A and B are shown apart, each in its own frame.
Chain A
Amino acid sequence: MMNTLRWWSGILVAFFLLFLMRLFLPLPFSNEIIIFSIYVMGCSFLLGRVGFISFGQPAYLATGAYATAFYLFYFGTNPYVGILIGIVAGLAMTLIIGPLFVRLRSDYFALVNLALAVIIFYMMQKVLAPITQGDNGLWFLTNMTATPILDITRPKEFFIFAFLVCLAVWALYKYLNDTLYGAVALASKVNEDKVQFLGYSNFKIRFMGFIIANVTTALAGSLYAIYLGFVSPEMTSAHRAADPVVVTILGGVGTLYGPLVGSVAFTGMKDLIAGLIGNWELFIGFLLVFIMLAGERGIWGSLEPRLKALFARKNA
């Protein structure tokens, strides 16, 4: 019982703080943070645990979002089913291209993923324009019907739903970090040859990690689609390809709460900077370079050891 409580305590404290923020900050901001942190979590897992950097996460975000949008625009009305379809689409996409991509070295992997994001952008914007309506995007806010118990078509109740989903995602990732799989994945990041000598398949480890990360990203995509009520090719454009990587680094690579802290900081800065000077690229570019030069540990990565030291002193 004590162990269970201790296991959950970190997550519960983090999400209690997140819930407190909801009381002080406007609703769209909170929703944005929640969805964005789920999006970043996939990228962070890929970079921190499996050791693969991917500039192509928007591709999987768009996969989930467009799958949800297609369902809600053309076929059905139930947003929950839409989210389910988004997840399945992300899984299917990864199962098709995963074996191709995962064999590649980590540098090629990043470039190929970015290329995929650009291709999906062109597909949604031009090639499939009759279905996706090109740059205009698909609008389906009015197509969604209200659902019983938790009506996620309304932003207020959507927040509760997204909050619970986010909590579940974090519990899953904390669990993954504790399992044998998490340990082996980390080992394969550090030294793939040794992992192979121990009898594990690097390919399987990475493929598994790729699937987990991409399904999470696709889930974030379908949450975006439901929340905004429309999708456009803009979400997969190359300019936004760096966002999840930036936030991963900003929060702290490989830490559990890094994506959460990073999303809060990033979304907050984005609103502030965009309002103040409007030249977002300039700022984010130099911020990225600065963090990399300053030691690449990020906000949570530098904060965590200090907090731990603080609590250790109290207990002693």
Chain B
Amino acid sequence: MDTQLLISGVIFGLSIGSIYFLTAIGLSLCFGLMRIISLDQLFYYAIGAYITYAISVYTGSMWLGALGGLVVAALCAFAVERFIFLRIYERDIAFTMITSFGILIGGVGIIKAIWGLVPRPVMMPVMTQWTILGTEIPVYRLIVVVIAALVYAGIWLFLNRTITGKAIRAGIESVEHVEGLGINVYRLFTITFILAGTLSGLAGGLHAPLIMVDPQMGLEVMPFIFMVVIIGGLGSIKGTLISALLVGQVVSIGSLIYAPLAQMAPFAIMLLILLIKPTGLFGSTMLKR
């Protein structure tokens, strides 16, 4: 294969993997701590993208839009957590999953009601291209990768250096023990959920200029987020990062070789990994408490 094509393919894969990572980390964290499968993260992803679109049309700045999208996604996550999830944390995992799917579908309905069915373009904030090894690389994609790396570093610092983060990590091991130490775990749940929703909103905002925003975008990206989460193992941040980069590369390089492969290859990899290790690469073997 052509080297130039390969380089741009790798960069494309890195940027798409970063987006997947930002969305999947929410699902993964929520599962790790609260033992819920929060499919509504994809709604925050879509709402983040739509707010980015709306604000960037209004003010002309996509970065401002992404910031707004992030804030609105966080607010939505907070409201949903308060009014819905707080009541059903105790329930069986299948039921939280169905409820969150209901929120996702309802969210698609809300977006349709506000912005209509037509896909909308979002302008690229940085149009410059750098030449690396004789290949033109759009700088925006590199920025996305850098932002994802910063977020990973930030989450790592948050979980390892702050007391709240340490409590969250301890909660992933055993919520009862954390509760026994006198820490309000429901506060932790809220913080984690809002963090997850914010990152999903950020992912949507960053993804918006690379694609068109349309009401079904959350559902379209859903299978890939699933694959990332399943391959990495539910509840593991390191696993999510590795599998997001892996899936990103497979999608990107696969589409260079044979276009439909981009959709099929991650699935084949997922099946292969599940055959060898049914809990994913770094997944916990813990069951619902």
Contacts and interface: CB of A to CB of B under 8 A. Distances in A.
Interface of B, secondary structure class, is: helix
A279 B112 contact: yes
B58 to A, nearest CB: 25
A103 B88 contact: no
Nearest to B100: A289
Given A281-B109, A288-B101, A292-B95, A118 B84 contact: no
A17 to B, nearest CB: 28
B93 A107 contact: yes
A110 B227 contact: no
Interface string B223-265: 1001101100010000000000000000000000000100110
B106 A282 contact: yes
A53 B109 contact: no
Contact of A289 (B99, B220, B287): B99
A262 to B, nearest CB: 14
A165 interface: no
Interface of A, secondary structure class, is: helix
B127 interface: no
Contact of B93 (A106, A126, A249, A283): A106
A231 B207 CA distance: 33
A27 B137 CA distance: 59
Contacts of A314: none
Interface string B211-223: 0000010011011
A234 to B, nearest CB: 13
B101 A282 contact: no
Interface residues of A, number: 43
B275 A100 contact: yes
A47 B230 CA distance: 21
A112 interface: yes
B65 interface: no
Nearest to A237: B219
19 contacts: A106-B93, A106-B94, A110-B97, A114-B222, A115-B226, A115-B270, A118-B222, A119-B267, A127-B263, A238-B220, A242-B105, A279-B112, A279-B113, A282-B106, A282-B108, A285-B103, A285-B104, A293-B87, A293-B88
Interface of A: 47, 51, 53, 55, 100, 103-108, 110-112, 114-116, 118-119, 122-123, 126-127, 238-239, 242, 245-246, 249, 279-289, 292-293, 296
